[in-house]
Copies of this chain bind each other. A is one copy, B any other.
Amino acid sequence: MKKSLLALALFGAFAGVAQAQSAVQIYGTVDAGIIKRTDQTLAIGKRANNTLGFKGTEDLGNGLKALFQLEIRYEPDSGTIEQGAGGVQRPLFQGQSRVGLQGAFGMVRLGRGLTAFQETSTQFEPFHGIPSPSGFQTDLTVAGYTSDPLGLVGNSTNRFSNALFYNSPEVAGFQLNTTIGTRESNTGSAAIVGRGTAAAPQYRVGAEASANPYSVSATYKNGPAALMAAVERNSVETRLYSVAGYIMASPDLKLMASRTKQDRGHTFVNNEEVTSWVVGANYTMGASKFLAGYGQKNAGVLNVGLQKTKQFSLGYEYSLSKRTYIYADASQRKSVATTPNSLNIYALGVNHAF
């Protein structure tokens, strides 16, 4: 088959046009349990993400693949699409919607998904990155940082829409992951007062990003140990810096720690910095897995409304199979503030992957 020179110039050379067919894979998880928070009535809810996804790859020949993934997120207790703050429904494919190409150069994707930092950091979190209030991922691990502050109201805090995702191949244990977003505005985004005033907010309703948001994470794996360093800047130029590591102290015992700082200097006059650290351990014994974690978040001395958060969590998972486990969690979360409070959370449930 003859190639056009224009095609070669624009898109690079592909030695052949293949026609591999590959079926769509349907996958997902259902996670539901009984939850008791000391400040709420007994509830049924989730511990991990609930997903229903569609994905596939196509072999294009010469080591090149086309791939896509569309992932619905939902609330199993009420059957709705995943909900954000105030019960606002998130996008249908909240999990991710991406299409791209994979080859020797790595993987390039376009669309919506977890930022490089948010995705990478889950490996260093004691509850393997689940968004449960017993876990650390969505608050302490990220030092309270939001990846998408100009997104739609109720939107998730750890994703970029309108982004380009690049994952390098792993070379000698080293991998680089980057995400770059456009400055596109969202019709429905909330205003951010920031260094402006209520009348003239720094970011108006539906404002464009003042700079391209990006996220970079680098990982290095060597035998039983792994390290991560990451930096991210969101659409209102808040910066996040994070380092983390884990080591398999024995085949059954994983120890991990992370340290994160966000610099809100672009929109805050005082208390620009929020810092956090989390340590944890996972211990596997037959079908049982024990999870333990402790962490602190410090939001600055002048921020008298909330100065410090301390969280201690224990979890237990019992595998009924490779796809199904039951779990029990207990967690305590203390806020050291002008009106300090303490919150206990208990959960008991089942997680089934399909």
Contact = CB atoms under 8 A, between A and B. Distances in A.
Interface of A: 1-4, 6-7, 10-11, 14, 17-22, 24, 26-28, 30-34, 41-45, 52, 54, 56, 58, 60-61, 64, 66-68, 70, 72, 74-81, 86-87, 91-101, 110-112, 161-164, 182-184, 186-188, 208, 285-288, 316, 318-324, 326, 328, 349-350, 352, 354
30 contacts: A1-B286, A3-B287, A7-B287, A7-B288, A7-B318, A11-B318, A14-B320, A17-B322, A24-B27, A24-B28, A24-B354, A30-B68, A34-B110, A41-B208, A42-B183, A44-B164, A45-B162, A52-B54, A56-B354, A60-B321, A76-B110, A77-B97, A79-B92, A79-B93, A87-B188, A92-B92, A99-B350, A99-B352, A100-B350, A101-B320
Contacts of A110: 32-34, 44, 76-77, 349-350
Given A60-B320, A78-B91, A80-B91, 20 more contacts: A3-B288, A4-B318, A17-B319, A17-B322, A20-B321, A21-B323, A24-B26, A30-B68, A30-B98, A31-B99, A32-B99, A32-B111, A43-B182, A66-B320, A76-B97, A76-B110, A77-B97, A77-B110, A87-B186, A110-B350
Contacts of A2: 285-286
A321 B54 CA distance: 20
Contacts of A350: 66, 99-101, 110
Given A1-B287, A33-B110, A319-B17, A79 B97 contact: yes
Main secondary structure of the interface of A (DSSP, over half): strand
A190 to B, nearest CB: 14
A60 to B, nearest CB: 5
A128 to B, nearest CB: 19
Contacts of A95: 79
How many chain copies? 3
Q: Which of A10, A22, A110, A188 has the most CB of B within 10 A?
A: A110
Given A43-B182, A97-B30, A78 B328 contact: no
Contacts of A64: 320
B76 A99 contact: yes
A184 B41 contact: yes
10 A-B pairs with least C-beta separation:
A79-B93, A30-B99, A79-B91, A32-B110, A79-B97, A80-B91, A78-B161, A87-B187, A66-B324, A44-B162
Given A17-B319, A76-B112, A58 B324 contact: yes
Contacts of A74: 70, 92-93, 97
Nearest to A185: B41
A208 B75 CA distance: 19
A75 to B, nearest CB: 8
